[in-house]
Chains A and B, each alone.
Chain A
């Protein structure tokens, strides 16, 4: 067993940062803690490292209870978003720090530093100072420094958050590869769902200090258990609706959505549909939903279509080939079909949900 976290709780004043969180990371796996800011993900990471003390709960590292151990004796590698390199030390000295602290023999230190410089592809930079490196290079130094003393677990706190998009993508892919080589049990914290899906073995989705769902990336994406997960993972169309007489009616014009649930309760509801789950066909027969194309954006590999269905705006994507076959144009009337969707009662009311989704940046 790699890491086990049991019933962690942590409050800062009145604010509950971590609320009864438990999860397990198998030996050698890479797990993402995914959630919006304030969801408690960084606090959990800091508790595992011993940099923060939980109010209650336990942390086990490779089977041993580490809850009472000081950071120095937990044998964890930690990488911060802003690198936290030792500015006054060269790259080589930074990487060697953990080994110097352990007073390892000089030739062993030298060999290990060279090994790591090789691993993070920074050969030739050993005598540079951090200020002479790019962001991506700095983060690789930070990673090498964390890995040098062969930690039991590796903890990464938004490791690519300070880098620009291109570098971030390269580095994320590279980390995935590196992890396959090194096989150290790792947790990384991120608010970027694409990053989490791309590089982790499993994802723990957090919201307001609680675990919403744990699973493989595919499970999280395809079978979200809660509406938070559904809306947070991937881009989703959020359709506000009401349930009346077992029918789901969207918008002011009460368009009946083809949501085939046996719904007995009336009330406010939300339907979430991913853009790729909207199938568009020509010839709007009256049978299903009809909409008109009001916007087309070329996105490289796909076309993104903006659809207007009464006053409800939806986003859909079409593959390039299909788009060209259909020869879509602005103003075309089309017929919609939802391949997959998620239905939730909006217990808190539409306003509360809209506010929440807005705060997460999913809707304008």
Chain B
């Protein structure tokens, strides 16, 4: 036998995966298909099935516009504030020692652990007309709960951990050394932060922001409790969808759901695509 005969030999695994592997693949993909793709498909079929005009009609009306408007502004505020605060918190947790650090590390995750409905009640207790802080705001003529400030506050609360949790590991992995090198090369602390630290942790930050946006757009429970669900005033997009659904206005509910879900989906997709492009550079 010459050496040529060796080269034409094909590894058996490349020809046909063994039965166990095929079963595992089919089973796993099937499970995710049923769990994720089927519901999405069902929504798309129901929402778009009656034609594009019906879909657009479902979004018409002042209530829908106001709800989406409120959600977008709330999301924007949550992103700006929690990106800034989340970043500061991450730096504090990674770089500094302070008493009660371990406890604080746990507290950051609390918004993950607490049910959104409970979150809503906590804010009502605190900021309600009889609440510990609410009394003061009420006296000053400012309404917190059953008003827009309450919605913003609970959204800030439920999206608090995302940026911090995504940034902490990349910041820890980076260590102090790249920054220290920058100092020796004459860069000030501020310049070092912009030119070295931020670019190095940017993917953690971007993911954190993406998750913050997705959660802020989709929050329901906490907002429902704290907002009072007043149509055209304190109704966010998710509350609007729920309202339409309970009013048997299914087309409205489906159309709004598709728009809201679509925004989140496109956002995740863009982040992923952007990341791939960067990697190929």
Are B177 and A74 in contact, CB atoms less than 8 angstroms apart?
Answer: no
Complex: A12 Cα to B128 Cα, angstroms:
50
The answer to whether the Cβ of B202 comes within 8 Å of any Cβ in the partner chain is yes
The answer to whether the Cβ of A72 comes within 8 Å of any Cβ in the partner chain is yes
Q: Which of B180, B183, B191, B200 contacts A86 (CB 8 A)?
A: B200
The answer to whether the Cβ of A140 comes within 8 Å of any Cβ in the partner chain is no
A84-B177, A86-B178 as given contacts; A101 in contact with B185, CB under 8 Å: yes
A86-B196, A88-B199 as given contacts; A146 in contact with B178, CB under 8 Å: no
Q: How far is the CB of B174 from chain A (nearest CB, A)?
A: 8
Complex: A78 Cα to B177 Cα, angstroms:
10
A82-B177, A84-B177, A85-B178 as given contacts; A77 in contact with B184, CB under 8 Å: yes
Q: Which of A50, A77, A101, A142 contacts B187 (CB 8 A)?
A: A101
Are A98 and B186 in contact, CB atoms less than 8 angstroms apart?
Answer: yes
Complex: A89 Cα to B196 Cα, angstroms:
9
- When distances are taken between beta carbons in the complex, the residues of chain B under 8 Å from A101 are 182, 185-187, 191
Q: Which of A74, A86, A87, A88 contacts B184 (CB 8 A)?
A: A74
Are B199 and A72 in contact, CB atoms less than 8 angstroms apart?
Answer: no
Contact with A along B165-188 (1 / 0, CB 8 A): 000000000010110111111111
- When distances are taken between beta carbons in the complex, the residues of chain A under 8 Å from B183 are 50-51, 70-72
Complex: A50 Cα to B188 Cα, angstroms:
14
A86-B196, A87-B200, A88-B199 as given contacts; A51 in contact with B180, CB under 8 Å: yes
Are A98 and B177 in contact, CB atoms less than 8 angstroms apart?
Answer: no
The answer to whether the Cβ of A204 comes within 8 Å of any Cβ in the partner chain is no
Q: How far is the CB of A43 from chain B (nearest CB, A)?
A: 14
Complex: A142 Cα to B177 Cα, angstroms:
12
The answer to whether the Cβ of A60 comes within 8 Å of any Cβ in the partner chain is no
Complex: A50 Cα to B177 Cα, angstroms:
13
Complex: A129 Cα to B200 Cα, angstroms:
13
Complex: A86 Cα to B192 Cα, angstroms:
11
Are A49 and B200 in contact, CB atoms less than 8 angstroms apart?
Answer: no
The answer to whether the Cβ of A35 comes within 8 Å of any Cβ in the partner chain is no
Which of A49, A50, A84 gathers the greatest number of chain B CB atoms within 10 Å?
A84
Q: How far is the CB of B171 from chain A (nearest CB, A)?
A: 13
Which of A73, A78, A102, A145 gathers the greatest number of chain B CB atoms within 10 Å?
A78
Which of B181, B186, B281 gathers the greatest number of chain A CB atoms within 10 Å?
B181
The answer to whether the Cβ of A97 comes within 8 Å of any Cβ in the partner chain is yes
Are B178 and A76 in contact, CB atoms less than 8 angstroms apart?
Answer: no
Are A78 and B186 in contact, CB atoms less than 8 angstroms apart?
Answer: no
Q: How far is the CB of B278 from chain A (nearest CB, A)?
A: 9
Complex: A57 Cα to B81 Cα, angstroms:
45
Complex: A30 Cα to B178 Cα, angstroms:
24
- When distances are taken between beta carbons in the complex, the residues of chain A under 8 Å from B195 are 97
Are B187 and A84 in contact, CB atoms less than 8 angstroms apart?
Answer: no
Are A84 and B178 in contact, CB atoms less than 8 angstroms apart?
Answer: yes
- When distances are taken between beta carbons in the complex, the residues of chain B under 8 Å from A85 are 178
Are B202 and A88 in contact, CB atoms less than 8 angstroms apart?
Answer: yes
The answer to whether the Cβ of A149 comes within 8 Å of any Cβ in the partner chain is yes
Closest chain B residue, CB of each to CB of A151? B184
Closest chain B residue, CB of each to CB of A74? B184
Are A88 and B200 in contact, CB atoms less than 8 angstroms apart?
Answer: yes
Q: How far is the CB of B197 from chain A (nearest CB, A)?
A: 10
Q: How far is the CB of B4 from chain A (nearest CB, A)?
A: 36
Are B185 and A84 in contact, CB atoms less than 8 angstroms apart?
Answer: no
Contact with A along B249-281 (1 / 0, CB 8 A): 000000000000000000000000000000001
Are A145 and B185 in contact, CB atoms less than 8 angstroms apart?
Answer: yes
Q: Which of B175, B178, B186, B281 contacts A72 (CB 8 A)?
A: B186
Complex: A80 Cα to B177 Cα, angstroms:
7
Are B187 and A72 in contact, CB atoms less than 8 angstroms apart?
Answer: yes
Contact with A along B119-141 (1 / 0, CB 8 A): 00000000000000000000000
Q: How far is the CB of B254 from chain A (nearest CB, A)?
A: 43
Complex: A145 Cα to B180 Cα, angstroms:
13
- When distances are taken between beta carbons in the complex, the residues of chain B under 8 Å from A86 are 178, 182, 196, 199-200
- When distances are taken between beta carbons in the complex, the residues of chain A under 8 Å from B177 are 80, 82, 84
- When distances are taken between beta carbons in the complex, the residues of chain A under 8 Å from B199 are 86, 88-89
Complex: A49 Cα to B181 Cα, angstroms:
10
- When distances are taken between beta carbons in the complex, the residues of chain B under 8 Å from A50 are 183
Are B178 and A102 in contact, CB atoms less than 8 angstroms apart?
Answer: no
Are B184 and A78 in contact, CB atoms less than 8 angstroms apart?
Answer: yes
Q: How far is the CB of A251 from chain B (nearest CB, A)?
A: 49
Complex: A82 Cα to B181 Cα, angstroms:
12
- When distances are taken between beta carbons in the complex, the residues of chain B under 8 Å from A149 are 185-186
| A80-B180, A86-B199 known, 19 other contacts, Cβ within 8 Å | A49-B184, A51-B180, A51-B183, A71-B184, A72-B184, A72-B187, A72-B188, A74-B184, A77-B184, A78-B180, A78-B184, A82-B175, A82-B177, A86-B178, A87-B200, A88-B202, A89-B199, A101-B182, A146-B184
Q: Which 8 A-B pairs have the closest CB atoms?
A: A98-B185, A84-B177, A71-B183, A88-B199, A78-B184, A101-B186, A101-B187, A84-B178
- Which A residues lie at the B interface, using CB under 8 A? 49-51, 70-78, 80, 82, 84-89, 97-98, 101-102, 129, 142, 145-146, 149, 151
- Which B residues lie at the A interface, using CB under 8 A? 175, 177-178, 180-188, 191, 195-196, 199-200, 202, 281
Cross-chain pairs A/B with CB under 8 angstroms, 17 sampled? A72-B184, A74-B184, A78-B180, A80-B180, A86-B200, A87-B178, A88-B202, A89-B199, A97-B182, A98-B185, A101-B186, A101-B187, A142-B181, A145-B181, A146-B181, A149-B186, A151-B184
